[in-house]
Amino acid sequence: MNGFPTLSARRAPRGWLISALGLALLLIVNTLPPLLVVRQALTPPDEAVQMPLRLLPESFSLQNLTSLWTTEPLLDRVTLSLGVALATTLLALVMGFPAGWAAVRLARAGRTIASLSLISRVLPPIVIAIPLTAILIPLGLYDHPLGLGLVLAHLTIGLPFAVLLAYAAFRDLPPELEESAIVNGCGTFEAFWRVALPSVRGAVAGAFILVFLLSWDEFAYALLIQLTNRTLPPLIYYYTNYGELGVASTLAVMMLVPAVLVIAFLQGLMTRGPLAGGVRDT
């Protein structure tokens, strides 16, 4: 429907060249640094301090990975990070989707919930994290080996996010669907569980990806709350700070793997608008 805009009747050859150069520059600036992390991870430490560095190292080695494996309980760190992210995601979705649906159906009162979710996303983690640690310590949840305190902290960002995503998804859903379910004998919760929720599967999958990555990538809360039982982001920070950039890069490469997997796995579920035309306008 909307074709390509043509700003000028004649295509200027010089404009094309500038655009191509710009794209090449963009490609280098945005994709070279992540590749340099992979290069750094695979470079033996003594070669990494030479100056000037070359684009490609003279030799490849897994020395960074092996030293990381021997000095750090690597498997524990990875499972902790994964566990916290999964627990945060599940809790956020289990609370967030019913709430988002109820908020849409409550119309005016629901908008208050939505704007409350929006406001609670404004505060930076530091503001909450410092007093939150004071609350978590007597509960025994501070620096918890299973990261329970961190899950609670991550919920402060994951839950409003899930509520807002659910709110947006259910707002597009015609209420007539649930209404006809209720007329046919469904209870209130059944109408949600059997009719409304399955209709927004795509949004659930999308929210899963986003909340999972939010927790998996989160740095500030993890830095303050998991002092010794560290998740991957603060671990990368510590190694960067100690100048062990090769080890930090190895961890960074590991952080990218689940992110890519989660997106690839759930991409199939993200079909949009399966109910478009589900209700007849009369």
Q: Which of residues 65-94 bind another protein (CB under 8 A)?
A: none
Q: How many CA atoms lie within 13 A of 139 on its CB side?
A: 14
- The span of 5-13, 65-73, 139-147, 202-210 binding another protein (CB under 8 A) equals 5-13
In the complex, minimum distance from the CB of residue 1 to another protein, in angstroms, rounded to a whole number: 9
132 binds another protein (CB under 8 A): yes
- From CA 175, how far away is CA 182, in angstroms rounded? 11
Instruction: Check binding of 278 to another protein (CB under 8 A).
Output: no
Which residue in 74, 82, 86, 128 binds another protein (CB under 8 A)? 128
Does 7 engage in binding with another protein (CB under 8 A)?
yes
Q: Are 167 and 100 in contact (CB under 8 A)?
A: yes
Answer whether 90's CB lies under 8 Å from 155's CB. Answer: no
Which tokens in the block code for residue 267? Answer: 């991409």
Residue 56 C-beta: closest distance to another protein, Å? 12
C-alpha 230/C-alpha 145 separation (Å) is 9
170 vs 204: CA distance, rounded Å = 11
147 binds another protein (CB under 8 A): no
Does 107 bind another protein (CB under 8 A)? Our answer is yes
**What is the closest distance, in whole angstroms, from the C-beta atom of residue 276 to another protein in the complex?**
19
Residue among 87, 163, 209, 211 that touches another protein (CB under 8 A):
163
With respect to another protein, which residue has the nearer C-beta, 153 or 200? Answer: 153
Work out the angle at residue 7's Cα, subtended by the Cα atoms of residues 2 and 13, and round it to the nearest 5 degrees.
120
Closer residue to another protein in complex, CB, 63/251: 251
Q: Does 190 bind another protein (CB under 8 A)?
A: no
CB burial of 174-199 (b: ≥16 within 10 Å; e: otherwise) equals eeeebeebeeeebeeeebbeebbbeb
* Separation of alpha carbons 81 and 219, rounded Å: 11
Q: What stretch of H or E contains 103?
A: helix 74-105
Copy the structure tokens of residue 74.
């690597």
Of 65, 84, 155, 207, which lies in the binding site for another protein, with binding defined by CB under 8 A?
155
Is 193 near another protein (CB under 8 A)?
A: no
Residue 137 lies near another protein (rule: CB under 8 A): no
Distance (Å, rounded) from C-alpha 157 to C-alpha 123? 9
Based on the shown chain and the rule CB under 8 A, indicate whether residue 261 belongs to the binding site for another protein.
no
Binders of another protein in range 194-253 (CB under 8 A): 213, 216-217, 219-220, 223-224, 233, 236-237, 240-241, 245, 248-249, 252
Compute the distance between CA of residue 190 and CA of residue 200 in angstroms, rounded to an integer: 15
Among the listed residues 44, 45, 98, 202, the single contact to another protein using CB under 8 A: 98
63 versus 96: smaller Cβ distance to another protein: 96
Binding string, residues 23-62; x marks residues near another protein by CB under 8 A: x--xx--xx-xx-xx--x--------x-xxxx--------
Spatial separation of the C-alpha atoms in residues 62 and 65, rounded to whole Å: 5
